[in-house]
């Protein structure tokens, strides 16, 4: 018969094995849950989260395009929903004799370009699950967002009879509405949005989401954005920035 010491050693070894196996299984399960959470992150965002992304990325897009034109062409342009009108004395004659102010322009609206905001929301919702497949992510974003840009171009032409971008001078363009360079840029922007912008915006949202009246502020900004869009596309398409 085995000695008591041998029996105790076998029991202790069995307990250690079960404990180690249990810990490994637990860690593996947690890792799977974290990965699943990461893969489905974009599909479980709240309405206010998506509005936050739309507003922030629309502003980023305005800054990007404005700086791009300024650097490449040396021109400051009125873009998006930021409307730069005449000088202040044209609207407020009593400012004509006020130094500095009589040289300032009336500016209103938002430094916002909607195609970047809407595009960011679509990328976040549709492609977050492809985070672990960068090649598929790139080409999926390139194709989907090129079709989005094409559809947006047709929609604007139909609604307001005006084109807001023209790629006629670009290589491999289609009716000046889309081109190869733009498609490649959309693919790169998809990678940037999913791998870097999404985590950054999540941190911002976590920081500001708990601010008092946060939802009310988002709703007011969204309402003002819609008002600017209606003004730009329907009420007065001739506005600078249009």
How many CB atoms are closer than 10 A to CB 52? 22
pLDDT tens sequence across 130-156: 989 999 999 999 999 999 999 999 988
Among 53-57, 64-68, 72-76, 158-162, name the most confident range. Answer: 53-57
Q: What is the pLDDT of residue 240?
A: 60
The residue written with tokens 């395009």 in the block is: 65
Q: Is the pLDDT of residue 16 over 60?
A: no
Mean pLDDT within 8-22:
49
The whole model's pTM is what?
A: 0.72
pLDDT value, residue 28: 46
Q: What is the pLDDT of residue 241?
A: 57
Q: Find out whether 212 and 205 touch, Cβ atoms under 8 Å.
A: no
What is the arithmetic mean of pLDDT over 46-64?
Answer: 91
- Residues 156-191 have pLDDT tens digits of 888 877 777 889 988 889 999 999 999 999 999 999
């Amino acid at each position: 018969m085995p000695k008591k010491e041998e029996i105790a050693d076998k029991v202790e070894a069995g307990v250690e094995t079960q404990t180690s196996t249990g810990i490994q299984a637990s860690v593996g399960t947690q890792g799977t849950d974290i990965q699943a959470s990461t893969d489905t992150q974009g599909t479980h965002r709240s309405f206010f989260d998506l509005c936050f992304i739309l507003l922030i990325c629309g502003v980023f897009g305005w800054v990007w395009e404005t700086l791009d034109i300024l650097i490449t062409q040396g021109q400051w342009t009125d873009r998006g929903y930021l409307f730069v009108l005449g000088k202040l004395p044209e609207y407020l004659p009593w400012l004509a004799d006020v130094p500095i102010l009589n040289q300032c322009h009336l500016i209103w609206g938002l430094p916002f370009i909607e195609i970047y905001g809407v595009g960011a929301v679509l990328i976040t919702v549709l492609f977050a699950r492809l985070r672990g497949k960068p090649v598929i992510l790139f080409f999926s974003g390139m194709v989907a967002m090129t079709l989005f840009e094409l559809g947006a171009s047709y929609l604007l032409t139909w609604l307001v009879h005006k084109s807001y971008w023209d790629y006629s001078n670009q290589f491999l363009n289609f009716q000046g509405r889309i081109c190869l360079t733009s498609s490649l840029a959309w693919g790169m922007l998809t990678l940037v949005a999913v791998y870097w912008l999404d985590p950054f915006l999540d941190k911002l949202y976590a920081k500001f989401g708990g601010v008092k009246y946060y939802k009310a502020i988002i709703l007011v900004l969204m309402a003002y954005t819609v008002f600017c869009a209606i003004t730009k596309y329907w009420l007065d398409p001739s506005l600078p920035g249009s």
